[in-house]
């Protein structure tokens, strides 16, 4: 667990230490309240009727028998949402929650029931009579793109789609610069390959859960596990045509999200059932529902062509990216196109990307959405070129690495970035030169993520006893209360135990964007520091008042107000507590509030090294050693930065080695459970060694860069390269599960 800080930067007292997280005791004793842990008086249990067909036209839904079952209190279908608000007919988020005219994927819901207990609700589901007509379906990218393919949804196609594709190809984009043709001509070797990755699920252990209560005056309370309760409020109040102020959303503790809890699936359903029944309604998804009806990531089909000089210099690079994200439009294809070559300083580069509709569940964001798939393809081709020229793969990456001033392949020019330092740290690490045995291979990959900023506001309140409350609006998904408290304490110059950070409901603070894009420690941290600065200004003003001097003659230093210089007088410094205690007499309570649409998040790079041993008789690949190098800008709580690096890596390992959505010929998902959709377990893995680099982000007062997402990007190619080197076979499709690898080994023999 090394930490590399290349140059002397700001000195910190609390930032960079590893205090116990403030919500920790509740989470190790079972007290913490997650989505399914709240119960309300007179509460009903809700559940959904799902159709196990990939594509079907709904002819009729007869609820009369179900309604008659004692204990059933309300039943809803899409028609109820049209009564609530006619505009709902054009709402793709709602239509993903509950089908309108067509079932668009295996597991799409078409009705929901609330009853006095879950057993009654489930019995009632069986009494709903549904008539539907099966339609031709398509679940594979290549087939979906061909003219003549069954069309998932008509009228979704954008105008800029090139000719020759079916109407399932709905979105297209391209990025790049330079002259590709000239670039490819000057190369000593060109490699072009096509890569495939499967749909994989975020796999959070907590299924979606919510408890909704709507009164007949139209006011509503909603409790749910979400990465962004303000976003839940926006989506739901839009569906119900409510004022934002009338819907209070409270985020429960969240049992994992990884992007998958950035939208809604059951919240509008619970609200509608509550509105119709007059009772609070709780819905908790089953694991099968989570797999079938919440968003996995896109599956991909990517062509990459790269030209390289024998020196290792890349002369030109091109990618054609095709992502399939289920039945509704999404933006992930664009992120894939932008991130593909972001790690490199290239004179000639082009990426094109297509988004394709299929009869699969609608994709949801998954940690660095879109980047792992395209970067997997790029980093695999680079590795093959390195092998071709017998060049050191880290040397080649250092030679071509993006740096400050590089105009990225997607447009922006990079500021201070840590890629080169990260690559050099990997090169200098003992892991890189450790010996390998037979059937073992070492894989390397770079990874990139943009990092987001976004709408953020924070209130920082100084209590009369000198303690501090920080009020923020982003659910704590992995220890952020701790890092926000640390930044507040650092800025104010007080001890950490004086600060408590809480997550406000939607009526208690202004809008905060979703906990996504690795934005929280950066944006909420930035707003907290700025709010603390405003509070310090006010504290100085109060000290000036107490001392009877001009407020400009007071400065704040290490938790105390001091006279600015000899001319200001020689008063004893006043602590935050001293000033807070008498603030009632100097003008009332003291607080700082800061709101921003934060920019300057600072891109993030990582480099992963992995050693793998492949069993040539079974095709099973075992991870022997794994080291993660990542630029954190400044690690506020290094343990939780390491945690992000380790956790993202292991999700990527699962993606590379085991995980995939498996469909049968009828378009039905075959593995909607943790037994058959196998995420990594403890016995699959070694320790994951994190090496944190700190190249400060100029866009943040303490230099923070988001660290949450980058770590899932490199494992795909790093493992692909390791297995390819271990077996002497170039692989181009994930997962590298034993059957696939064994088949390739047998074919080679």
| Footprint of another protein (CB under 8 A) | 18, 20-21, 23-25, 27-34, 36-37, 39, 119, 202-207, 253-258, 284, 286-287, 477-479, 637, 639-640, 642-643, 646-651, 673-675, 679-685, 687-688
Tokens encoding 458: 């924070």
In this complex, which beta carbon is closest to another protein, that of residue 18 or of residue 404?
18
Residue from 504, 414, 397 nearest 459 by CA: 504
Q: How far is it between the farthest Cα atoms of the chain? A: 89
Q: Least distance from C-beta 145 to another protein, angstroms?
A: 32
Tell me the C-alpha distance between 606 and 603, whole Å: 10
Tell me whether strands 440-449 and 604-614 are parallel, antiparallel or unpaired. antiparallel
| 356 neighbors 323 (Cβ within 8 angstroms) | yes
Q: Least distance from C-beta 47 to another protein, angstroms?
A: 13
Q: Least distance from C-beta 290 to another protein, angstroms?
A: 9
Q: Least distance from C-beta 590 to another protein, angstroms?
A: 32
In this complex, which beta carbon is closest to another protein, that of residue 193 or of residue 622?
622
Q: Least distance from C-beta 68 to another protein, angstroms?
A: 19
| 147 neighbors 135 (Cβ within 8 angstroms) | no
Q: Least distance from C-beta 646 to another protein, angstroms?
A: 4
Tell me the C-alpha distance between 676 and 689, whole Å: 29
Burial status of residue 565 (CB atoms within 10 A of its CB: 0-12, 13-18, 19 or more)? exposed
In this complex, which beta carbon is closest to another protein, that of residue 258 or of residue 594?
258
**DSSP bridge partners of 281:** 44, 212
In this complex, which beta carbon is closest to another protein, that of residue 546 or of residue 685?
685
Tell me the C-alpha distance between 540 and 501, whole Å: 23
Residues 6+ apart with CB under 8 A from 1: 638, 642, 689, 690, 691
Residue 150 is given by DSSP the state P
In this complex, which beta carbon is closest to another protein, that of residue 119 or of residue 186?
119
| One-character DSSP codes across 261-302 | TSS-SSHHHHHHHHHHHSS-EEEE--HHHHHHHS-BPPEEEE
Q: Least distance from C-beta 32 to another protein, angstroms?
A: 6
Tokens encoding 446: 């770079």
Q: Least distance from C-beta 174 to another protein, angstroms?
A: 35
In this complex, which beta carbon is closest to another protein, that of residue 376 or of residue 640?
640
Cα-Cα-Cα-Cα dihedral sign, residues 112, 114, 119, 120: negative
In this complex, which beta carbon is closest to another protein, that of residue 592 or of residue 643?
643
Q: Least distance from C-beta 654 to another protein, angstroms?
A: 9
In this complex, which beta carbon is closest to another protein, that of residue 144 or of residue 653?
653
In this complex, which beta carbon is closest to another protein, that of residue 222 or of residue 679?
679
Backbone φ, ψ for residue 48 (5° rounding): -115, 145
In this complex, which beta carbon is closest to another protein, that of residue 149 or of residue 653?
653
Q: Least distance from C-beta 699 to another protein, angstroms?
A: 25
Q: Least distance from C-beta 26 to another protein, angstroms?
A: 8
**DSSP bridge partners of 302:** 195, 321
Q: Least distance from C-beta 286 to another protein, angstroms?
A: 6
Tokens encoding 145: 């793109």
Q: Least distance from C-beta 601 to another protein, angstroms?
A: 21
Q: How many Cβ atoms sit within 10 Å of the Cβ of residue 335?
A: 23
In this complex, which beta carbon is closest to another protein, that of residue 254 or of residue 656?
254
In this complex, which beta carbon is closest to another protein, that of residue 366 or of residue 556?
366
Q: Least distance from C-beta 255 to another protein, angstroms?
A: 3
Q: Least distance from C-beta 211 to another protein, angstroms?
A: 13
Long-range contacts of 59-63 (CB under 8 A, 24+ apart): 59/131, 59/132, 59/133, 60/129, 60/130, 60/131, 61/110, 61/111, 61/128, 61/129, 61/130, 62/128, 62/129, 62/130, 63/111, 63/128
Residue from 288, 362, 359 nearest 672 by CA: 288
In this complex, which beta carbon is closest to another protein, that of residue 543 or of residue 650?
650
Backbone φ, ψ for residue 53 (5° rounding): -140, 140
In this complex, which beta carbon is closest to another protein, that of residue 252 or of residue 351?
252
Q: Least distance from C-beta 273 to another protein, angstroms?
A: 18
Tell me the C-alpha distance between 264 and 268, whole Å: 8
Rg (CA), the chain: 27
Query: Which three-class secondary structure state does DSSP give residue 734?
Result: coil
In this complex, which beta carbon is closest to another protein, that of residue 477 or of residue 717?
477
Packing angle, helices 371-389 and 393-400, rounded to 10: 120
Burial status of residue 441 (CB atoms within 10 A of its CB: 0-12, 13-18, 19 or more)? buried
**DSSP bridge partners of 308:** 189, 314
| One-character DSSP codes across 321-386 | EEEE-TTS--SHHHHHHHHTTTTB--SSEEEEEEEE--SSPPP---SSTTHHHHHHHHHHHHHHHH
Give ∠ CA 131-137-138 in degrees, rounded to 5: 155
In this complex, which beta carbon is closest to another protein, that of residue 652 or of residue 667?
652
Tokens encoding 609: 């090294």
């Amino acid at each position: 667990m090394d930490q590399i800080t290349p140059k002397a930067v700001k000195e910190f007292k609390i930032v960079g230490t590893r205090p116990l997280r403030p919500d920790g005791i509740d989470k190790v004793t079972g007290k913490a309240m997650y989505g399914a842990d709240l119960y309300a008086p007179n509460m009903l249990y809700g559940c959904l009727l799902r159709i196990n067909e990939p594509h079907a036209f709904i002819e009729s839904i007869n609820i009369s028998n179900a309604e008659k079952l004692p204990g059933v209190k309300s039943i809803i279908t899409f028609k109820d949402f049209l009564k609530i608000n006619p505009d709902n007919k054009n709402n793709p988020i709602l239509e993903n929650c509950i089908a309108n005219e067509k079932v668009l994927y295996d597991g799409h819901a078409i009705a929901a029931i609330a009853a006095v207990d879950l057993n009654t609700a489930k019995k009632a589901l069986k009494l709903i009579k549904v008539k539907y007509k099966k339609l031709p379906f398509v679940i594979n990218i290549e087939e979906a793109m061909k003219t003549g393919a069954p069309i998932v949804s008509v009228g979704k196609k954008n105008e800029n789609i090139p000719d020759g594709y079916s109407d399932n190809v709905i979105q297209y984009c391209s990025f790049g610069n330079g002259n590709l043709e000239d670039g490819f001509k000057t190369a000593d070797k060109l490699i072009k390959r096509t890569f495939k990755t499967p749909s994989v699920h975020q796999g959070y252990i907590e299924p979606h859960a919510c408890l909704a209560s709507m009164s007949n005056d139209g006011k509503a309370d909603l409790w749910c596990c979400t990465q962004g309760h303000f976003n839940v409020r926006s989506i739901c109040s839009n569906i119900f045509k409510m004022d934002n102020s009338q819907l209070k959303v409270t985020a429960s503790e969240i049992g994992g999200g990884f992007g998958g809890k950035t939208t809604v699936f059951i919240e509008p359903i619970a609200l509608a059932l509550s509105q119709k029944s007059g009772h609070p309604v709780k819905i908790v998804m089953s694991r099968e529902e989570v797999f079938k009806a919440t968003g996995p990531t896109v599956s991909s089909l990517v062509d990459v062509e790269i030209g390289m000089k024998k020196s290792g210099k890349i002369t030109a690079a091109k990618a054609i990216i095709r992502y399939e994200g289920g039945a509704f439009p999404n933006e992930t294809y664009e992120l894939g196109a932008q991130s593909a070559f972001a790690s490199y300083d290239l004179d000639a580069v082009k990426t094109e990307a297509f988004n394709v509709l299929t009869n699969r569940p609608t994709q949801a964001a998954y940690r660095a959405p879109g980047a792992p798939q395209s970067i997997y393809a790029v980093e695999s081709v680079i590795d093959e070129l390195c092998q071709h020229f017998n060049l050191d793969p880290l040397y080649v990456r250092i030679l071509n690495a993006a740096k400050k001033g590089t105009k990225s392949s997607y447009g922006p020019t990079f500021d201070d970035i840590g890629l080169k330092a990260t690559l050099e740290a990997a090169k200098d690490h003992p892991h890189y030169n450790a010996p390998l045995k037979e059937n073992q291979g070492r894989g390397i990959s770079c990874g990139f993520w943009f990092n987001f900023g976004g709408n953020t506001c924070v209130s920082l309140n100084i209590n009369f006893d000198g303690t501090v409350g920080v009020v923020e609006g982003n659910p704590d998904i992995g220890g952020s209360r701790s890092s926000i408290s640390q930044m507040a304490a650092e800025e104010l110059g007080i001890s950490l135990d004086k600060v408590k950070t809480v997550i406000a409901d939607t009526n208690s603070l202004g809008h905060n964007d979703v906990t996504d894009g690795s934005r929280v420690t950066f944006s909420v941290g930035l707003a907290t520091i700025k709010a603390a600065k405003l509070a310090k200004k006010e504290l100085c003003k109060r000290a000036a008042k107490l001392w009877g001097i001009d407020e400009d003659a007071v400065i704040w230093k290490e938790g105390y107000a001091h006279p600015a210089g000899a001319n200001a007088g020689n008063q004893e410094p006043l602590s935050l507590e001293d000033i807070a205690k008498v603030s009632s007499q100097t003008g009332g309570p003291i607080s700082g509030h800061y709101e921003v649409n934060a920019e300057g998040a600072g891109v993030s790079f990582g480099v992963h090294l992995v050693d793998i041993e492949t069993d040539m008789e079974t095709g099973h690949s075992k991870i022997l050693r794994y080291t993660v190098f990542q630029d954190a800008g400044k690690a506020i709580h290094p343990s939780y930065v390491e945690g992000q690096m380790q956790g993202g890596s292991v999700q990527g390992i699962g993606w590379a080695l085991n995980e995939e959505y498996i469909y049968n010929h009828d378009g039905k998902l075959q593995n909607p459970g943790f037994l058959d959709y196998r995420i990594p377990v403890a016995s699959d893995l070694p320790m994951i060694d994190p090496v944190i680099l700190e190249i400060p982000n100029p866009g943040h007062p303490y230099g923070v860069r988001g660290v949450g997402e980058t770590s899932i990007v490199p494992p795909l190619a790093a493992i692909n390269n390791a297995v390819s080197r271990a077996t002497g076979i170039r692989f181009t499709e994930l997962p590298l599960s034993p059957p696939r690898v064994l088949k390739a080994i047998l074919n080679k023999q």
